[in-house]
């Protein structure tokens, strides 16, 4: 029994750490899904060590969901223009071309977009070379669509009780 608990603990801690290494590019929903899928396959193994390692992997991947509470992130910025982001708590901030902030954001825009892009908590977005905005590859993109996030019009920004969205929209003109 002691060996199984050791395998379970080492697997949970190790998988949490390995999945966390990818946090700058892969959103927490995708990290969780990858670990859950891999661990679920391992749980059906006849080998008890692999089975307990799979359970540990599932636990480690479930802990990735903690990052969802932290808000959205800008994971790539290939724009040569200034980018404007809505900081989770502080308001609108301007980023230099190609800059990626180390803080969480609620939304973003670029000059000329004539709208804002809303990110759900835990979803990673970015700006492509043509200054279009999208979400990173992974499950977060699906989550963003379910939560009615994504590109928002000027009318949407004006309806918000949080007036920071209007300030962000003004930067898109």
- What residue has token string 């004006």? 158
- What residue has token string 């060590």? 49
Please check whether residues 6 and 77 belong to one and the same domain: no
Please check whether residues 10 and 42 belong to one and the same domain: yes
- Domain hosting 141: range is 71-170
Domain boundary among 29, 46, 69: 69
Domain boundary among 22, 51, 69: 69
Please check whether residues 43 and 77 belong to one and the same domain: no
23 close to 32: Cβ distance less than 8 angstroms:
no
Angstrom distance (rounded) from CA 158 to CA 145: 21
Instruction: Check whether 142 has a pLDDT greater than 60.
Output: yes
Please check whether residues 154 and 133 belong to one and the same domain: yes
Please check whether residues 43 and 88 belong to one and the same domain: no
Please check whether residues 48 and 76 belong to one and the same domain: no
Please check whether residues 39 and 76 belong to one and the same domain: no
Please check whether residues 16 and 42 belong to one and the same domain: yes
Please check whether residues 34 and 84 belong to one and the same domain: no
Please check whether residues 81 and 62 belong to one and the same domain: no
Query: Pick from 52, 62, 86: which is nearest to 72 by CA?
Result: 86
Please check whether residues 90 and 30 belong to one and the same domain: no
Domain boundary among 16, 44, 69: 69
The number of residues in the chain equals 173
Number of domains comprising the chain: 2
SS3 assignment for the chain: CHHHHHHHHHHHHHHHHHHHHHHHCCCHHHHHHHHHHHHHHHHCCCCHHHHHHHHHHHHHHHHHHHHHHHCEEEEEECCCCCEEEEECCCEEEEECCCCCCCCCEEEEEECCCCCEEECCCCCEEEECCCCCEEECCCHHHHHHHHCCCEEECHHHHHHCCCCHHHHHHHCCC
pTM: 0.79
Please check whether residues 53 and 26 belong to one and the same domain: yes
pLDDT, position 1: 53
pLDDT, average across residues 51-58: 86
Residues 83-123 pLDDT 10s: 999 998 888 999 998 999 988 899 999 988 888 999 888 88
């Amino acid at each position: 029994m002691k060996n199984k608990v050791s395998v379970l603990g080492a697997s949970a801690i190790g998988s949490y750490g390995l999945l966390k290494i990818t946090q700058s590019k892969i959103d927490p929903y995708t990290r969780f899904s990858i670990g859950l899928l891999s661990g679920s396959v391992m749980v059906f193994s006849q080998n008890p060590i692999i089975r307990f390692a799979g359970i540990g992997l599932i636990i480690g991947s479930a802990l990735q969901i903690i990052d969802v509470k932290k808000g959205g992130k800008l994971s790539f910025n290939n724009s040569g223009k200034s980018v404007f982001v809505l900081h989770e708590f502080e308001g609108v901030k301007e980023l230099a071309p190609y800059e990626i902030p180390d803080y969480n954001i609620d939304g973003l825009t670029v000059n000329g977009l004539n709208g804002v892009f809303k990110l759900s908590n835990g979803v990673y977005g970015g700006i492509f070379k043509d200054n279009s905005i999208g979400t990173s590859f992974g499950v977060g993109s699906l989550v963003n669509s379910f939560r009615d996030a994504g590109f928002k019009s000027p009318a949407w920004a004006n309806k918000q009780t949080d007036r920071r969205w209007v300030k962000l929209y003004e930067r898109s003109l």
